[in-house]
A and B are shown apart, each in its own frame.
Chain A
Amino acid sequence: MIFTTQNKKEFFRRTAGKIAAAVFWIAVWEMLCYIVKQEILIVSPVRVLVRLRELSGDASFWVSALNSMLHVLAGFLLGVSAGIVLAVLTTSVRLLYDLLYPLVSMIKATPVVSFIILALVWLRSEQVPTFTAFLEVTPIVLGNVMNGILKTDSGLLEMARVYRFGRARTVRRVYIPSVMPYFTAACTTGMGLAWKTCIAAEVLASTEFSIGGHIYDSKIYLETADLFAWTAVVVLMSVVLERLMVALMRKIGKKYNID
């Protein structure tokens, strides 16, 4: 990208705006703490930072953060893979769509805690977060990718047929680029959802060495500062992971656009 002076100005203006918004909300937060004055109800931003520093001095902090991230990634990737496979199958075999439709609707409508509690009965507690994240991500990816496949321009498909693209080339040249925007949207939503479900599952399963496990402890010992600190870790990691994913997908997308 080439930065002209105009672009540069615009860029700085936007960044300044973002920082101002962040400062504003942190000030509101600080104000609230000042008014409430009870650490058990709300913890000040400064206190959260201090607590984070204390916690991060301990090796178990990093182990827990890493563990939770692995739960999220595993659940997310499983969900994405299953979603893609099912989307391809349901769009090629109508019968399969009819068969799967009620199941998918049921999964979508079921409260995530019901699955978590059920999974606790079925699985070992460290498998529960991944499993529930997988269950939540799959329908999102399935729905979006299916929609993308169905909305592929029939004119282009006809063109591919006339010019004898064959299956491989039709998929690569027509289907994948058409589905890409739907897929990216599903992944962004799915990643956020995977974090939320994973942490919820870890709390309910009080999984050892996980962020959710620590959040569970903070509830028992009424350590609101810990709750805030761990939540901050989740938010941060979720944002970072999502950004990384979007950057990676843009790279892959570029390959399919240009190559």
Chain B
Amino acid sequence: MRIEIKHATKQFGEKFVLRDFSALFPEKGVLCLFGPSGCGKTTLLNCIAGLVRLDSGEVTGMENRRISFLFQEDRLLPWVSAEENIAAVLRGSRERNLREARALLVQVGLAGEADKRPHELSGGMRQRVAIARALAFGGNLYLMDEPFHALDDGSKQEIISLFREKTPDCLKILVTHDKREAELLADEIWILEGPPLEIMHIITKC
């Protein structure tokens, strides 16, 4: 079932970030939400994730959704190593979790950094750990809030290819205000303006 937002309204104080906003999301692929800072795209993402509650309206098609959320910041636990950060979202045998964590770290290009703490890693490396964590959690919906700002073009493409390869049937919503990033990574781009958030234009590649 596709995710759909119906007549969503969200107000912060006097400001309407969403006002009777409706949209039907694609079933899979990489969807870029492209728009200027503060237009309401992050709020939209948070509403889908259930981190922000709508004042009115609804999000449907969320049954049996397991969300892997990539935040703008890395949001790693500062007191444990990279591999422990990834294992923290897994359940079951600790040994197996750590093994899986290390395997994922290799895939995001951090083979030798498994036992380093976040403060020992660069910004780009921390973001890669967060990406590995999102993959480890194994959601069927990937919400990404400008997670690639610390990475160069090559790395962005590499990471997105990894997502495509590992999660071919899942929808990946990528929020960005970088036009080149949108063109580089997306299957479909929504050009947004706001607040209140509005879809100005939809570009479908293929």
Q: Which residues of A contact B (CB under 8 A)?
A: 155-156, 158-159, 161-165, 169, 173-174, 177, 256-258
Contacts and interface: CB of A to CB of B under 8 A. Distances in A.
A163 B137 contact: yes
Nearest to B75: A159
A155 B71 CA distance: 9
B88 A169 contact: yes
Contact of B69 (A162, A165, A177, A258): A162
B77 A163 contact: no
Interface of B: 49, 51, 67, 69, 71, 73, 75, 77, 79-81, 88-89, 133, 137
A162 B67 contact: yes
Contacts of B51: 158, 161-162
Nearest to A178: B79
B73 A163 contact: no
**By DSSP majority rule, is chain A's interface helix, strand, loop, or mixed?**
helix
Contacts of B133: 163
B80 A258 contact: yes
Contacts of B89: 163-165
B115 to A, nearest CB: 10
Contacts of A161: 51
B173 to A, nearest CB: 14
A177 B80 CA distance: 10
A174 B51 CA distance: 18
A165 B73 CA distance: 19
A258 B67 CA distance: 27
A164 B67 CA distance: 10
A162 B80 CA distance: 19
Chain B contact residues: over half helix, strand or loop, or mixed?
Answer: loop
B75 A155 contact: yes
Contacts of B69: 159, 162-163
A257 B84 CA distance: 10
B80 A257 contact: yes
A155 B88 contact: no
A178 to B, nearest CB: 9
B107 to A, nearest CB: 19
A162 B49 contact: yes
Contacts of A173: 77, 80, 88
Given A159-B71, A169-B88, 17 more contacts: A155-B73, A155-B75, A158-B71, A158-B75, A161-B51, A162-B49, A162-B51, A162-B67, A163-B69, A163-B88, A164-B89, A165-B88, A173-B80, A173-B88, A174-B77, A177-B77, A257-B80
A169 B90 CA distance: 11
B75 A156 contact: yes
Contacts of B75: 155-156, 158-159
Given A162-B51, A162-B69, A163-B137, A256 B88 contact: no
Nearest to A256: B79
B79 A177 contact: yes
Contacts of B137: 163
Interface centre among A162, A165, A169, A258 (most CB of B within 10 A): A162
Contacts of A162: 49, 51, 67, 69
Nearest to A257: B79
Contacts of A169: 88
A184 to B, nearest CB: 14
A156 B77 contact: yes
| Residue among A159, A161, A177, A257 facing the most chain B CB atoms (10 A cut-off) | A159
B134 to A, nearest CB: 9
Nearest 4 CB-CB pairings of A with B: A159-B75, A163-B89, A162-B69, A177-B79
